[in-house]
Structure 1
């Protein structure tokens, strides 16, 4: 209450401040209750992974990467940045390389997915897997599955004559020059810096295209 001069006392100010704080806290609690998490929306996806059919019920927010790793136990495909920037999660989808962390699993019904496990296995390595071993194309190995899957897709693109930003003449069939290789593999990062050996491994498999 104001005194005779019309000024509020210190006690009145403290009481008003406490009341305002209590009302603010009550107002803040209501939205928190309204924003309670909703139950997940489930979807069923059927796709072929490494030649085997799978029908899986998934949360519609599940990425293809998490489906492969968490539900199909194909942990060769790695989760790096989870933002499509490092390439560690690269797989082949219907023959084309993609970042599996950027694709929802329910977006791939009927797709044919190939992971590093589907390219080869001990005793029957894919030529690129064997080349990475022979040329020491890795150090810690975390990016290696994505590097190899990306290289498989990249060499297929090259064989089909698909140009890149480094292709000087769009009217001719591009060859795997050093510039072409760097540009085409630029989406796959190696924190260990094994790029020269990675390039040597890919070039050894490219053969006449290099």
Structure 2
């Protein structure tokens, strides 16, 4: 007996063509909650509610594909299946070093939508965690973000500083951006590296 919907198995094995064939199968009739008429629940809805676990506590197909590392299946689920991108899918891709998928997903989700636009520290933190160099550049250029607030009395970057987060998650393009702007010197990068290593 299958514990997960078959589409998860197809994703597991990277079977793009089979996933493509399966997507229309999830566009099935369902009863309306308001009346007894048969209505159609689109594949878009079902793709976003399917779970890899019977109790509903698992991953969605898109999250699973992001975890497994198939960019073409990820694109198929979004472009054909109407899968909704969420931060969990981005995080799962990054956890498994699927940077191409994470970059693609990030183009389809606003990871800052639940943050107050005036909370620059939280926005910078999320940008550095996610390697969003465009947002970091925007904060540095348009908001004149102050990196020095994250230094201790000796001028070293504190744990959980933007520099620390960029180093910890391996986003060296963001680190390079800090350096290019003259706000960070090589010894400060080494300090952040040491702090990140000590926290492992």
TM range (shorter): under 0.3
Name the TM-score, length of structure 1 as normaliser: 0.24
| Larger relative helix fraction | 2
Q: Which has the larger radius of gyration?
A: 1
Name the TM-score, length of structure 2 as normaliser: 0.25
